[in-house]
Structures are given as C-alpha cells and as structure tokens.
Copies of this chain bind each other. A is one copy, B any other.
C-alpha cells in the first residue's frame, strides 16, 4: 500500500550491498521524512558519479580523467608495480607511507564461485601494463584469503615466464600482535618464513 514512487525507491535502495528490505524501507522513510536535502544530494551524486567516474587507463582505479593522479605523477617509481584488489587496498598501501611505486587495481579477485575467472578480471590488461618494459618488479598485495592467494598464484604463473620479477607481501604475526591471539595458520607461516636475527 506504499505509493509506487516510494516502492521504487525502497526497491532501488536494495541494490546497495548489505541492505535488505527492512533497512531499505527505513532508509527511504528517513530520506523522505527527515533528510530531503541529503536525498537530493544523494540522487545528484549517484547520477553525477555514474557519468563522471571511469577507470584509469593505466592502473584501472576510479578516476575522472583518462589517467589518475598517481599514474600521472612524475615523483613515483615506475619500476615498481603493486597489484591490489580494490581502491581501498591501494589507499591502505599509501597510508603505510613506505611505498612510492605505481599500482594496478584488479577491481576484484579470481573467484570461480562468483563466475570471476582471469578473463573476467581482465588480467590481460595487467599483463600489458606489467610488460611495458619499464616495470622491473610486480609486488602482489592481494589479500591472504583463498581468492586473493589464487589470484596471486595465477598472476605469478602468468608473469614469471615473461622475465619480470614477481614478489608477494610478507605474511606473519601482525605488528603489535600477541602469539596468544594469532591464529595457528598465521603462526605456522610466520615460523616457516622466519628470518635470521641480526641481519
């Protein structure tokens, strides 16, 4: 018995990740009853972003130009290429303030259950990018999940034979981590990949 415009709004809000019918209804009422200026901004922002945002032709992240700011920067080391799953992961890498190379954002990961294989992920574009003759080392910074690992393995198998260096970020006990609270898989890896002290 909701008016059709309201039903359409509730239905449309359900396309947001993690939002079910109850939340969508609550959001729709909130927008219409308590925050019409916010709703206006939301509608405008979604439509503007759809029109303005595309993928960087070099690193595949979101950008409004052809090339994103990072790829266009002359201050970054073009010999290093860090492969991450998402723009969020790229931001996390940047926040370490220790990496000054380039990026390639997969915008996903190999995930057969979701129908995402190497082709759907566009790994051929990464191949072209990594083999531009300038990149010397590809640093795989995909997650240490099953899918992230599978993606890293696939990229390694794809790039290694072409003569470009491929590395993987280290796995181990987190900084500040206590052994008591670290899962045994992580601890086992940390043990296996132990380093000689005093080096």
A: which residues have CB within 8 A of B?
Answer: 1-6, 8-9, 11-13, 15-18, 23, 25-33, 35-36, 38-50, 52-53, 62-64, 68-70, 86-88, 91, 94, 107-108
* Cβ–Cβ contact B32 & A2, under 8 A: no
Q: A32-B49, A43-B44, A46-B46 are in contact. List 10 more A-B contacts (CB 8 A).
A: A2-B87, A3-B52, A5-B49, A8-B49, A15-B31, A17-B26, A31-B49, A32-B62, A33-B107, A39-B49
Copies of this chain, tallied across the complex: 2
* Cβ–Cβ contact A69 & B39, under 8 A: no
Residue from A6, A15, A46, A69 having most chain B Cβ neighbours under 10 A: A46
Give me 18 A-to-B residue pairs in the complex whose CB atoms sit less than 8 angstroms apart, sorted by A's number. Answer: A1-B69, A1-B94, A3-B62, A5-B52, A5-B64, A8-B49, A12-B42, A12-B46, A13-B45, A15-B31, A15-B38, A16-B30, A31-B46, A32-B62, A33-B108, A42-B43, A43-B46, A46-B46
